[in-house]
Structure 1
Amino acid sequence: MQGNFLARFMNLLIFVFIGVMTVVLTALPFLVDEYVKFVGNQVLNIFWLKVFLYFTAIPFIVLLVKAKKLCKNILRAEPFCQSSIAALNVISISAFIDFLFYAIGTITIFKNLLSLTLMVAAFMVGLVSLILSQLVRAALEIKQENDLTI
């Protein structure tokens, strides 16, 4: 019962977050301009900053959509299935791509270590989801063996 509540809550939370991301991505040019006014002209090129933020949003949106797919699998009481493994693999690839984008952005655009936190977070999400995909794969094999023996 509690697991079902948590899965529904996470599903709702991801849905809300996808909506918030849509609004933020729509307002991104305005938000970047206001940020530059706030901090002063420390950003080298505002255009490239906007392009960078849009590029880093793509893997993040893919990650959110696949996380929603995982929640749906849990709600259907099928957490150990092939689609969960595929979703976890896509999440790990998306997180590693985001990590690479932020590593390149830190060197070329930001020229500081403020995005180091995002880099480490993206790397950890990628690593944990890759490990979880292997665990789900092993659990699926055990489940299939148990289904055949009974």
Structure 2
Amino acid sequence: MRKGSTTFLKVVVVIIALAVVALCIFVLPMIARAVAGDQTFAKWVYPVLIGMYISVIPFFVAMFQSIKLLGYIDKNEAFSDMSVKALRVIKYSALTISLVYTATMPFFFMIGELDDAPGVIVIGMVLVFASFVVAVFAYVLQNILKSALDIKSENDLTV
């Protein structure tokens, strides 16, 4: 593969990461200020906001591993143990994000109940299932890559 063929994907990863940073710096504090006066909402919204800030850590770990994986692809090292390790870290990061949002789902339910807005519950479910889908996809890719490496090593032994 020619060098730089994954540049577009790297740019997309960086743009997504910058969007999450902007969300954490501007949007989430704005939400916290908006509910600060209403203690009924604040006691349910703050745990969700804390969960969002906690989920940023594994998110950036996964973004960093994605950049590394794209670098391996650029160097023609896509079928290597390093790629399998990167996919494993992405899988665990996505599962961690899914678990964090699963833990905050009761708060999403209470916010939806108090505000009479079932869309809030759907947003919480989308966050859980989207990260779970990423984890499953990384798991499948990891197993395919592991199998390809095993077949390659068997072929190397027989030749």
TM-score interval, smaller chain: 0.7 to 0.9
Shift of 1:35: 6.0
TM-score (norm 1): 0.81
**Would you say the 8 A contact 1:69–1:87 is kept in 2?**
yes
Deviations 1:13-41 (A, max 9, x none): 1123223333333335533236649xxx7
Tell me which residue corresponds to 1:110: 108
Larger radius of gyration between Structure 1 and Structure 2: 2
Aligned residues: 145
Tell me which residue corresponds to 1:90: 89
Return 5+ residue gaps in structure 1 as ranges.
none
1:127 equivalent to 2:125? Answer no
| Mapping of residues 1-150 of structure 1, within 5 Å | 5=5, 7-33=6-32, 36=35, 42-107=41-106, 109-111=107-109, 112=112, 113-114=121-122, 115-150=124-159
Letter in 1 for 2:48: L
Deviations 1:109-150 (A, max 9, x none): 211422101111111111110111011011112223334445
TM-score (norm 2): 0.77
Measured in 2, the distance between the counterparts of 1:126 and 1:3 equals 28
Moved over 6 A (4+): none
